[in-house]
Amino acid sequence: MNSTGTLVFLWTPWSLFLSLLAVFGMAGLCLIAWRRSGYRLAVGLLESLRLAIVVLAALMFNQPEWIETFAPEEKPAIVVCWDDSPSMETRDIIPAKPAGRQAGADQDVSPERISAARQGSRSEPTLGQPLQTRREAIGPLIEETSWDRLRGRNRVVIEPLSASHASTDNRSRRSDLYEPLVRAVEKYPHLQAVVLVSDGDWNAGRPPVEAAVRLRELAIPVFTVPVGSPTRLPDVELLSLEVPTFAVVGKSVRVGWTLESSLPRETLATVTFRSSAGDEVRKEIRIAPMGRSSDWLAWKPREIGDLTLTLTVPPQPGELLTENNRRTAPISIREEKLRVLVVESAPRWEYRYLRNALSRDPGVDVSCLLLHPGLSKQGGGNRDYIKHFPEGLEELAVFDVVFLGDVGLGEGQLTAQQCRWLKGLVEHQASGLVFMPGIEGRQFSLLDTELDELYPVVLDAAQPSGWGSRSPQHFELTELGRRSLLTRLADTPEENLEVWEGLPGFQWYAPVVRARAGSEVLAVHQDAANQYGWLPLLATRTLGAGKGLFMGTDGAWRWRKGVEDKYHYRFWGQVVRWMAYQRNMAKGETMRLYYSPDQPQLQQTVTFRANVMQPGGAPLEQGEVTARVVAPSGQARTLRFESSATESAGDDWGAYFGRYTSKEPGEHRLTLGCKQTGATLETKFFVQGVDAERIGRPARPEVLEEISRVSQGQVLAPGRWEEMVELLAQQPPPPRAVRRVQWWSHPLLVGLLVTLLGLFWIARKMVGMI
């Protein structure tokens, strides 16, 4: 680096006049004093020292400074940052006719051009008209040859915005306009200007105007090139495809989706659903104009294995963007064998038909236990019965769902220890517990145990035997119940509501007062109400990892009237599978993993819960459990699980938990491992949602205009890049580095002055003037 130095004085007319007056006045006084001494040599030297001190003070009074200028040996840099985010693949640019020397490269992509093209009937974009992507429109700007004219005096650097980020995967990258501008200043010390080519759709990092303020302080202008239509073109976008983590072969699966339309009118479309196994389902839907609409269809898988589901929306009249009309999602199809325990006292009709329904279900392995007070010993009559309640955590932990009929706490019934085990089974192992009270009112005693926390409703202690009626009473679904998979007895919402209204009525119901806070009510009594509202008869409640369900009547067996097993079997089959769903998300020989929510959304925290057993089947206490999560972009993160035993006192169920927040939609791979047992479990989970960086979003030229205005740059059009190069060529070079040394306040000069004053005082004493 070359440097030049110059000595300058920051004088004013008054400071110069006073300095000269002081110097010449002191010179006269020194001459008079020397003459009076008879021109003695010692006195002459003393007076010369006095004059030198005054001259030095006069010089300092006029503020002398040494200014050294450093000229960089490198050429000043011009950085061209171009947007390579997924939104730049939006096809909303109307190609302009070639013109001039740049016939093959010029593109009129200004917002005015897009607006005019929409308004004019001749240039209105129509389906089939060739459009360019934003990335294609800026093609000439990112070619090295386009900037050859500047290379004689500048260093031109062309780099994408992603160059300032650790990840370069399109699935995870978002548009951060702040970081590239700041990094350019740090990376290129002799920066002259920045050219920012983007659609302005920033969705990550700090506001880019903050970077513009910083560049303005450094006198570095930012020239922005906005590209893309500032208004959304006619488009139908498939935002999400909602499928469960796994499904059972031969059982219907609900597949939902959400569409967003910018079309000005309602349209009819036939969506096509396909699975990688070759299944295909079509459904005609209505697409609402200028908004979102949701729908679903039912699909019954026929094969076991990991499948990919695809939903496609056909292009609509007037739609210009068709790249976002298709979505895929993974699903695992399995065979099932759910373990169910039914505990009852007297074998009432509800119990008998429930046992028959579960024993005839090929996906359920049912075990029954009768605690009948009149029996000499517990158990039952055939192979479905067990002789006693499970005698430990290991035996109880095999059950996915437990039904508690009209049983309670006491001799010949359940014990407080067994109630505590049942609560732990739900809370720590994601099992389900179904409460089915009866006319004996024995379940009131359960409210004095730890199961009280799981009970979804409040019972009336003044009426323990419940309420009976000679005439049939009926359920009425709540708004939540109409949407729930648990209460779906038909394929469409309208048919389902009609089925529930036509079900045979019940003639007894439990003495319910109200639902507890935090419970979800799916169905209420059609006629009975109190000061709290309609009486809840079907309600659910979540505790830890599992769920509890309250069925407030014993008349569901009557649903068989006229239709045999159609609704009765379907309802209880759905109850078992709904309550065991989380528990069976992923399981191995000694490990089980489940998570909530089961369909996590983007940026939503997922709570993973794991049950780890020793090889002998006993729960592992205080183990080291970790999970490695790999996002769709390939980025990996390791989670260290904590023991659930630290959260609440009680039995150790080998339960551990960890939390994860995903920043990417799509399929994530998870590997669970335990150091003590050496066991591993691999699974996948799918994060729903729409990435913030996606194709089809309108451009935001106002963001780029603000950056240029604040940094004192200009807004340029990509089709006129020759003018852009000429404008950059006229930019003044960056200011040279300057180092200023203020001698007038420098400590060395101050020290010299003090030293001279000391010598002058000593010299006066030596010559006898003091």
Written as one string, the DSSP assignment of 204-225 is: SSS-HHHHHHHHHHTT--EEEE
> Do residues 652 and 645 make contact, with C-beta atoms less than 8 angstroms apart?
yes
Average pLDDT across the chain, whole number: 82
User: Angle at Cα 486 formed by Cα 368 and Cα 666, nearest 5°?
Assistant: 115
Per-residue pLDDT, averaged over 593-611, amounts to: 84
Per-residue pLDDT, averaged over 510-515, amounts to: 92
Question: Of the given ranges (7-21, 214-228, 361-375, 405-419), which has the lowest mean pLDDT?
Answer: 361-375
What's the pLDDT band for 435 if we cut at 50, 70, 90? very high
How far apart CA 610 and CA 338 sit, in angstroms, is 19
- Angle of helix 208-217 versus helix 178-187 axis, rounded to 10: 30
Beta bridge partners of 523: 477, 538
User: Angle at Cα 229 formed by Cα 204 and Cα 144, nearest 5°?
Assistant: 75
Residue 523, pLDDT above cutoff 90: yes
Per residue in 662-683, pLDDT tens?
A: 888 878 889 998 888 888 888 8
Parallel/antiparallel/unpaired status of strands 305-312 and 326-334 = antiparallel
> Do residues 222 and 212 make contact, with C-beta atoms less than 8 angstroms apart?
yes
pLDDT at 105: 35
- Backbone phi, psi, residue 648, to 5°: -150, 150
CB atoms under 10 Å from CB of 133, counted, come to 18
Residue 537, pLDDT above cutoff 80: yes
Per-residue pLDDT, averaged over 316-325, amounts to: 82
pLDDT at 170: 44
Residue 649, pLDDT above cutoff 80: no
Highest mean pLDDT among 191-200, 517-526, 618-627: 517-526
What's the pLDDT band for 433 if we cut at 50, 70, 90? very high
Amino acid at 64: P
> Do residues 694 and 641 make contact, with C-beta atoms less than 8 angstroms apart?
no
What's the pLDDT band for 73 if we cut at 50, 70, 90? low
- Backbone phi, psi, residue 79, to 5°: -100, 125
How far apart CA 205 and CA 657 sit, in angstroms, is 31
> Do residues 92 and 229 make contact, with C-beta atoms less than 8 angstroms apart?
yes
CB atoms under 10 Å from CB of 73, counted, come to 8
Per-residue pLDDT, averaged over 549-562, amounts to: 88
Per-residue pLDDT, averaged over 646-673, amounts to: 77
Per-residue pLDDT, averaged over 432-449, amounts to: 90
Q: For residue 213, what are the CA distances in angstroms to 162, 176, 709, 736? A: 22, 16, 10, 21
Beta bridge partners of 737: 70
Nearest to 211 by CA among 235, 188, 182: 182
Per-residue pLDDT, averaged over 417-430, amounts to: 88
What's the pLDDT band for 164 if we cut at 50, 70, 90? low
How far apart CA 536 and CA 541 sit, in angstroms, is 13
Per residue in 99-146, pLDDT tens?
A: 443 333 333 334 443 343 333 333 344 445 567 788 888 888 888 887
pLDDT at 2: 64
Question: Of the given ranges (407-411, 601-605, 672-676), which has the lowest mean pLDDT?
Answer: 601-605
Residue 16, pLDDT above cutoff 90: no
Give 744 or 382, the one with higher predicted confidence: 744
Kindly calculate the radius of gyration of the chain based on its CA atoms and give it in whole angstroms. Answer: 41
CB atoms under 10 Å from CB of 160, counted, come to 19
What's the pLDDT band for 536 if we cut at 50, 70, 90? very high
pLDDT at 96: 59
Q: What percent of the chain has pLDDT over 70?
A: 88
Return the residue matching tokens 């949701």.
294
CB atoms under 10 Å from CB of 5, counted, come to 10
Residue 404, pLDDT above cutoff 90: yes
Residue 756, pLDDT above cutoff 70: yes
What's the pLDDT band for 698 if we cut at 50, 70, 90? confident
How far apart CA 83 and CA 487 sit, in angstroms, is 49
User: Under 8 Å CB-to-CB from 531, ≥6 apart: which residues?
Assistant: none
pLDDT at 386: 86
Amino acid at 49: L
Parallel/antiparallel/unpaired status of strands 401-404 and 432-435 = parallel
How far apart CA 27 and CA 39 sit, in angstroms, is 15
Amino acid at 613: M
Per-residue pLDDT, averaged over 263-284, amounts to: 89
What's the pLDDT band for 549 if we cut at 50, 70, 90? very high
What's the pLDDT band for 298 if we cut at 50, 70, 90? confident
Count of residues making up the chain: 770
Question: Of the given ranges (40-44, 206-210, 381-385, 546-550), which has the lowest mean pLDDT?
Answer: 381-385
Per-residue pLDDT, averaged over 692-705, amounts to: 80
> Do residues 441 and 465 make contact, with C-beta atoms less than 8 angstroms apart?
yes
Tokens of 651: 């039995």
pLDDT at 99: 41
pLDDT at 111: 42
Q: What percent of the chain has pLDDT over 90?
A: 11
> Do residues 20 and 14 make contact, with C-beta atoms less than 8 angstroms apart?
no
Question: Of the given ranges (235-239, 576-580, 651-655), which has the lowest mean pLDDT?
Answer: 651-655
